[in-house]
A and B are shown apart, each in its own frame.
Chain A
Amino acid sequence: MMGGYGDVQLLRDDGLRLDGRKLDEMREVQIEAGILPAADGSAWVKHGLNVAVCAVYGPMEAHPRKIQKQDRAVIDLRYNMAPFSTSDRIRPGFNRRSREISKVTAEALESVVLVERYPRSKIRVEIEILSAEAGTRCVGITAASVALADAGIPMRDMIVGVASGKVEDTVVLDLDKAEDNYGQADLPMGILPTTGEIAFLQMDGDLSIEEFNLCMDYNMKAAKEIHEIQMDALKRRYESKNGGA
């Protein structure tokens, strides 16, 4: 729905966005680690009205053998939207969109996880979107990072999913559903918050170089904020594992 510009007003007369946020303000983020007892590591992330749950299993032997890599672990990742996660019900099962998101998300995580430590093995990452309201791939990345850490899998850094974009010729951080549907551009990124490296990048729409640079600044700033929430969730999980000590 890119290019719907002009049809729908997305910025209010006072310069704020329809939901009252400032241009560089993200939606509220809440994170819990270790919420699925069957998994080796897990996380729950609520980002605005998005809800994502991630389970991590492994590292374990990679089956079938042809998927094994002799020098590292493979990340076997599925991004899936629950049938009731959107306004119109989604038929269960994989589609082209979820396959593509699964592929690039797995590759982003492979860039962060110390996969060389586990040759010939696999790490299963299951991202389930329970409620979708724009930006679910980013929420999935944020959740996967916490779940991997909760599973005790070594990583170079955490990874945070965050997006910026353009509405009414104005760059804004963290598009909501209306802004995503009727805006002019969307730039989701997976950022390593400590080093500032980028492990995940997609974009669609229309951005000038200046606008792109501003999106990048917004994303970097938000990644640091979300990183603190991630670490806080992991610390709370660690406390509760020790009986609240």
Chain B
Amino acid sequence: MNPRTEVLELSAPVSNLLKQELARLAESDKRIDGRGRFESRDIILETDCLYNAEGSAKVTWGDTVVYAGVKFEVREPWPDRPTQGSLMCGAELRPVAGLKYEAGPPSPESIELGRVVDRGIRESGCIDMDSLCIIPGEKVLGVMIDIHVLSDRGNIFDASALAAIAALKTSIVPAERFDVGEDYPLQVQKTPTMCTFTRVGGRYVLDANEQEENGGEERIHITLAEEGHLHSLQKGLKGTFTPTEFAEILEVAQNRCAELVNLVKSKEA
């Protein structure tokens, strides 16, 4: 279907019809694109795809396209952590990503996206911040991951998290350029990956597409690493859920994240 026709269909007066259709499909446990409730769209992961980034990844997740790039900088450490480097992950939702996005200062949505992905990576402890120290109290490395969403057709969170960790795990620290020794691969100990569930037609589904997001309700983002521990959780948009519902999707997330970890690891050297 032409994307513009689809957008027209989703304009305010029509969205109730979409909601009704999603609810009707849910009664027989079906989805609008024919997938199973916990079935993801196909994912293509490419790494080392951009010349100037020290690590890069492109994720094609169904019709959603996201790039992530890693850059390093040499900077002074924070006074209270003289031996620790730093990690920052940001996301841009620029107008290129879809009709609904407009130019301007960072939107709350893009800040949430960047911060949820950031927490999953940071809190997994996948990077030993002390290993980023060059001279204690004087020079440390800052690692910056930038997420660039180019086509949003649903679930940019999982696509962004996958692109970010894949770019990070294939990064080369440009030590020669900073005059601090030879280039070396960044040590990343863990592989945090994200699973997002969206309430569509009353129940949670994995990996909602654009239509399901437009006609759906709240979403839950779960980030797990390979040891099976939670590293970031976030509930977004209006709605509530029960502990029973959460237990069900958490079990799905455990299996799904393990698959995503394998996908990332298949790209490592």
Residue-by-residue, is A51-72 near B (CB-CB < 8 Å gives 1, otherwise 0)? 1010101001000000000000
Q: Does A11 reach chain B (CB closer than 8 Å)?
A: no
Query: How far, in angstroms, from A39 to B153 measured CA to CA in the complex?
Result: 10
* Interface residues of chain B: helix, strand, loop or mixed (majority): mixed
CB <8 Å contact, B103 and A78: yes
If A37-B151, A130-B148 touch, whether A86 touches B52 (CB-CB below 8 Å) is yes
If A92-B92, A92-B146, A131-B53 touch, whether A38 touches B4 (CB-CB below 8 Å) is no
CB <8 Å contact, B52 and A133: yes
Q: Does A83 reach chain B (CB closer than 8 Å)?
A: yes
In the complex, how many angstroms separate the beta carbon of A80 from the nearest chain B beta carbon?
A: 6
Query: How far, in angstroms, from A89 to B177 measured CA to CA in the complex?
Result: 14
Q: Does B204 reach chain A (CB closer than 8 Å)?
A: no
Residue-by-residue, is A61-98 near B (CB-CB < 8 Å gives 1, otherwise 0)? 00000000000000000101011111111001100000
Q: Which residue of B lies closest to A84 (CB)?
A: B69
Q: Does B59 reach chain A (CB closer than 8 Å)?
A: no
Query: How far, in angstroms, from A86 to B73 measured CA to CA in the complex?
Result: 13
Question: Which of B94-102, B124-132, B193-201, B231-239 sits within the interface?
Answer: B94-102
Q: Give the contacting residue for A126; candidates B4, B71, B96; CB below 8 A.
A: B96
In the complex, how many angstroms separate the beta carbon of A140 from the nearest chain B beta carbon?
A: 12
Q: Does A192 reach chain B (CB closer than 8 Å)?
A: no
In the complex, how many angstroms separate the beta carbon of B49 from the nearest chain A beta carbon?
A: 8
The size bracket of the interface on B is 35 or more
**Residues on B with beta carbons closer than 8 Å to the beta carbon of A57:** 95, 99
Q: Which residue of A lies closest to B73 (CB)?
A: A89
Residue-by-residue, is A99-133 near B (CB-CB < 8 Å gives 1, otherwise 0)? 00000000000000000000000001010101111
Interface centre among A40, A53, A60, A84 (most CB of B within 10 A): A84
Q: Give the contacting residue for A40; candidates B3, B52, B69, B210; CB below 8 A.
A: B3
Q: Which residue of A lies closest to B72 (CB)?
A: A89
Q: Which residue of A lies closest to B110 (CB)?
A: A92
Q: Give the contacting residue for A38; candidates B63, B69, B71, B144; CB below 8 A.
A: B63
Q: Does A36 reach chain B (CB closer than 8 Å)?
A: yes
**Residues on B with beta carbons closer than 8 Å to the beta carbon of A37:** 3, 63-65, 151, 153
Q: Does B150 reach chain A (CB closer than 8 Å)?
A: yes
**Residues on B with beta carbons closer than 8 Å to the beta carbon of A35:** 65
If A49-B51, A55-B150 touch, whether A130 touches B67 (CB-CB below 8 Å) is yes
Q: Give the contacting residue for B144; candidates A42, A78, A83; CB below 8 A.
A: A83
Query: How far, in angstroms, from A144 to B210 measured CA to CA in the complex?
Result: 25
Q: Does B70 reach chain A (CB closer than 8 Å)?
A: yes
CB <8 Å contact, A128 and B50: no
Q: Does B155 reach chain A (CB closer than 8 Å)?
A: no
**Residues on B with beta carbons closer than 8 Å to the beta carbon of A38:** 3, 63-65, 97-99, 151-153, 210
Query: How far, in angstroms, from A70 to B79 measured CA to CA in the complex?
Result: 59
**Residues on B with beta carbons closer than 8 Å to the beta carbon of A36:** 65, 96, 150-151
CB <8 Å contact, A126 and B95: yes
Query: How far, in angstroms, from A82 to B68 measured CA to CA in the complex?
Result: 10
Interface centre among B52, B63, B65, B148 (most CB of A within 10 A): B52
CB <8 Å contact, B95 and A39: no
Query: How far, in angstroms, from A37 to B51 measured CA to CA in the complex?
Result: 24
CB <8 Å contact, B4 and A128: no
Q: Does B211 reach chain A (CB closer than 8 Å)?
A: no
Query: How far, in angstroms, from A51 to B49 measured CA to CA in the complex?
Result: 10
CB <8 Å contact, A82 and B97: no
**Residues on A with beta carbons closer than 8 Å to the beta carbon of B73:** 88-89
Query: How far, in angstroms, from A60 to B97 measured CA to CA in the complex?
Result: 16
**Residues on B with beta carbons closer than 8 Å to the beta carbon of A93:** 105
Within 8 A of A (CB), among B248-268: none
Residue-by-residue, is A30-47 near B (CB-CB < 8 Å gives 1, otherwise 0)? 000001111110100000
In the complex, how many angstroms separate the beta carbon of B148 from the nearest chain A beta carbon?
A: 5
Residue-by-residue, is B119-152 near A (CB-CB < 8 Å gives 1, otherwise 0)? 0000000000000000000000000101010111
Query: How far, in angstroms, from A35 to B65 measured CA to CA in the complex?
Result: 9
CB <8 Å contact, A92 and B71: no
In the complex, how many angstroms separate the beta carbon of B157 from the nearest chain A beta carbon?
A: 16
Q: Does B56 reach chain A (CB closer than 8 Å)?
A: yes
**Residues on B with beta carbons closer than 8 Å to the beta carbon of A40:** 3-4
CB <8 Å contact, A128 and B148: yes
- With A37-B63, A84-B148 known, 14 other A-B pairs at CB within 8 A are A37-B3, A38-B64, A38-B98, A38-B210, A53-B150, A78-B96, A82-B69, A82-B92, A89-B144, A92-B106, A126-B94, A130-B50, A131-B52, A131-B53
A-B contacts, 6 listed (Cβ < 8 Å): A38-B64, A38-B99, A55-B150, A78-B103, A83-B144, A84-B50
Q: Chain A interface (Cβ within 8 Å of chain B)? A: 35-40, 42, 49, 51, 53, 55, 57, 60, 78, 80, 82-89, 92-93, 124, 126, 128, 130-133
